[in-house]
Amino acid sequence: MKKTFAQTFITDLLKAVGIEVNGSHPWDIQVHHEGFFPAVLHHRNLGLGEAYMNHWWDCERVDLFFERCIRGNIHHKISADWLLTLKIILYLMINRQTKKRALKVGKKHYDLGNELFTAMLDKRMNYTCGYWKNATTLDAAQLAKLELVCQKLMLKPGMRLLDIGCGFGALAKHAAEHHGVDVVGITISKNQLEYAQKNCAGLPIELRFQDYRDINESFDRIASLGMFEHVGSKNHETYMQVAHRCLKDDGLFLLHTIGNNESELHTDPWIEKYIFPNGLIPSIAQIGKSIENLFVMEDWHNFGADYDKTLMVWHTHFNAHWHEIQHHYSDQFFRMWNYYLTSCAGVFRARYLQLWQIVLSKNGVAGGYQAPR
Instruction: Write out the catalytic residue numbers.
Output: 344
CA distance 101 to 107: 11
**Inter-helix orientation angle 284-291/236-246, to 10°:** 50
Strand partners, 207: 185
Supply the DSSP symbol for 234.
G
Q: Do 344 and 314 form a contact (C-beta atoms < 8 A)?
A: no
Q: ∠ CA(246), CA(225), CA(297), 5° rounding?
A: 60
Neighbours of 107 (CB within 10 A): 14
Between CA 147 and CA 279 the distance in angstroms is 27
Q: How many CB atoms lie within 10 A of CB 364?
A: 12
Do the Cβ atoms of 286 and 344 come closer than 8 Å? no
> What type of residue is 141?
A
**C-alpha distances in Å from residue 55, one per residue of 6, 32, 35, 48, 49:** 19, 7, 11, 11, 10
User: What are the residue ranges of helices labelled H in the chain?
Assistant: 5-15, 36-53, 62-71, 82-93, 99-105, 114-120, 138-152, 170-179, 190-199, 236-246, 269-274, 284-291, 305-320, 322-325, 331-349
In degrees and rounded to multiples of 5, residue 9 shows phi and psi of -65, -50
Q: How far is residue 254's CA from residue 356's CA, in Å, rounded to a whole number? A: 10
